Structure 1
């Protein structure tokens, strides 16, 4: 019998080897995340070397290490972050040095000195303008006191200057050499989001078509929950893309980004209706067959027609996000989907009018299902109309040099 511990070890080794292979494959792919990270590592290394050379010439030996250390952490994912965090770090260090110097000059390193330094330093650290570098105020002040350097004006000044040298070197390198510009990442994130939504629609359609089979409901619920995760990732990618253009020298050489915020808003609304659709099916599964037998609350005819409508919505979603498709194809899909939705609506209305409902108990739920599908269709129709008036709603973006991830 196999040893469970050995099996887990082998599985862990396989996962690590797969990860290494994926990273190696990424390094061989143009504009990959791995190449981006490799460039950032190289830039941080260069910034550290430059900061060391400058600090070694200008500053006392004992403070030289601060410059390369600061330079490394200043090579951020965007030029905007590098510049703003560099300024914040320098101000935070200067504030900590001033605070420690003032107390150290008066009373030196004592318990009373820490009592006078730590509270105001932590208060300053919580100022929102300091950002994530607010803690540098307290750590710098305590370090200066602990090292006994708080009363050495020359060392304190050199410490601040070394921090500034490192921040300047990190900012210059990150801004001048391959400044990160996230042009493709927002588009890919929105496409993945729409692809997940289309897959959910296709899966639900498959179940509805096969005799209203709701056995896939647990998977549909998980897919609907994953939509929220993809929505959050898309929002983050869009925010990163917008931020990457700020103070970026490469930003002037590429066209303005597509209006992904409008797409994200539309996909957020679609996600709400897909969640409602899955909840309605869950209600049918829970109440429609309380004893495990008998017909479901929705008729097979409605199931087939509804499955066709969902398939059309899924195809329209995929076509909406594929740039190569002609707008006429998407218009045709939306028109056919509208006709199908109208036909289902008319059939349901006629059944109510004549009192010939196959499943009267499920009429309200089927109406809810149809309403959610129609709202998704309305959103796609409005989005398509906007794109015809304003191509920036989803542009091409091909041929942009080094417009990474």
Structure 2
């Protein structure tokens, strides 16, 4: 038991050390988190220095407490959380002071104020800031700071902390979430290309139903990066709202939204293609297994399609994407597809309807995938078009 605990502790320390190393050496989520954490700490120190050390305010705790939680992941979120927090702190303070004045007893005032402030804190409009309504009421009643002057000081110092927290977040390296969009698009291109290459190799070596089911599961799991892309777009849009960083420093624009639609369609057709291959494999297949000479057309088709996905992946980050290489890959893909279609016509003429149906399904599904990829030829600047003959 002790050995397992030490092993887990060692893994955790190694993970922390790796995160620290990445934060110091490369741009990424670790460095973003470190910057936001230091900004929050700096905002709290500044608020305390102003309100507690210089002004010697009686409720100085409120300023750093408010400042540290308002260094949010976006400037817009800082503003919204600041308004929410000031409202709930104000209402919590007033309710606690009113309960104390009404009952004249701290215990009775808590029994009266806390149910109301907890209910208020759970109001969805206040989000994560709702918890500050009951905690403020507890502070007010525990320290008997419910006179008119004390209420004014509490609200004023919370306001000062909010201004400092929002100001630090907005003016010192204001967060803009562009990297997440690029990372999600990059992952979609990388995983799609890797899947297609593995499919090509397995078909060439003679695949079993278990392999086809793994392809289908990997295609289905591409929904994860797609959801990540959707969330990243939302964060990017929000991080641009009320963000002076867009004017104070030049930042690269996020890739066009046309890329999102492109990869949604690519991954959808990849799922259809792999599902068709599952249906034609194994003893419990739903469709007839395609002959070997038909399957022989697929490896080159999948490899060429993987090259197109890699070219699309590179075009997202490259200022001069290699349109010629993409065009040649599309030509290879369409040539392989023409050979596959010829096999379908041969089986149709031979009246081998079960095999013709299976081959026809493969032809239809791969053709839809190629049409989507061919339509995306203009997403990267400078690409040459590659049309099917």
Distance 2:43 2:257 in 1: 35
Q: Does 1:93 align with 2:89?
A: yes
Distance 2:183 2:22 in 1: 16
Shift of 1:102: 2.6
> How big is each residue's C-alpha offset from its partner over 1:183-205, in whole Å with a ceiling of 9 and x where there is no partner?
33311221112211111111122
Does structure 2 retain, via aligned residues, the 8 Å contact 1:108–1:148?
no
2:387 corresponds to: none
Shift of 1:302: 1.8
Shift of 1:51: 0.3
Does structure 2 retain, via aligned residues, the 8 Å contact 1:193–1:234?
no
Distance 1:17 1:212 in 2: 42
Distance 1:319 1:301 in 2: 29
Counterpart selection for 1:385 from 375, 378, 381: 378
Does structure 2 retain, via aligned residues, the 8 Å contact 1:306–1:370?
no
> How big is each residue's C-alpha offset from its partner over 1:324-375, in whole Å with a ceiling of 9 and x where there is no partner?
43223223322332332233223303321332x4xx5454344333333222
Does structure 1 retain, via aligned residues, the 8 Å contact 2:181–2:229?
yes
Change (3 A) 1:171 1:298: same
2:289 corresponds to: 297
Does structure 2 retain, via aligned residues, the 8 Å contact 1:316–1:333?
yes
Shift of 1:223: 2.2
Q: Does 1:229 align with 2:221?
A: no
Counterpart selection for 2:197 from 196, 202, 221: 202
Change (3 A) 1:270 1:45: same
2:31 corresponds to: 35
Does structure 1 retain, via aligned residues, the 8 Å contact 2:294–2:343?
no
Match runs of 1:39-78 below 5 Å = 39-56=35-52, 57-58=54-55, 60-61=57-58, 63-78=59-74
Change (3 A) 1:136 1:365: farther
Does structure 1 retain, via aligned residues, the 8 Å contact 2:68–2:165?
yes
Q: Does 1:285 align with 2:281?
A: yes
Does structure 2 retain, via aligned residues, the 8 Å contact 1:194–1:317?
yes
> How big is each residue's C-alpha offset from its partner over 1:349-405, in whole Å with a ceiling of 9 and x where there is no partner?
3321332x4xx5454344333333222222222222354599xxxxxxxxxxxxxxx
2:323 corresponds to: 327
Shift of 1:94: 1.0
Does structure 2 retain, via aligned residues, the 8 Å contact 1:79–1:175?
yes
> How big is each residue's C-alpha offset from its partner over 1:89-127, in whole Å with a ceiling of 9 and x where there is no partner?
111211211222233322244776556534543454344
Match runs of 1:18-29 below 5 Å = 18-29=14-25
Counterpart selection for 1:318 from 310, 315, 326: 310
- TM (norm. structure 2) is 0.85
2:178 corresponds to: 183
Unaligned runs of 5+ in 2: 384-389
> How big is each residue's C-alpha offset from its partner over 1:157-202, in whole Å with a ceiling of 9 and x where there is no partner?
2222222121111111121111122333311221112211111111
Does structure 2 retain, via aligned residues, the 8 Å contact 1:208–1:214?
no
Change (3 A) 1:139 1:24: closer
Distance 2:324 2:158 in 1: 58
2:386 corresponds to: none
1:367 corresponds to: 360
- TM (norm. structure 1) is 0.82
Distance 2:305 2:104 in 1: 73
Q: Does 1:162 align with 2:154?
A: no
Q: Which moved more, 1:335-344 or 1:155-164?
A: 335-344
Distance 1:99 1:309 in 2: 70
Distance 1:250 1:183 in 2: 13
Change (3 A) 1:218 1:338: closer
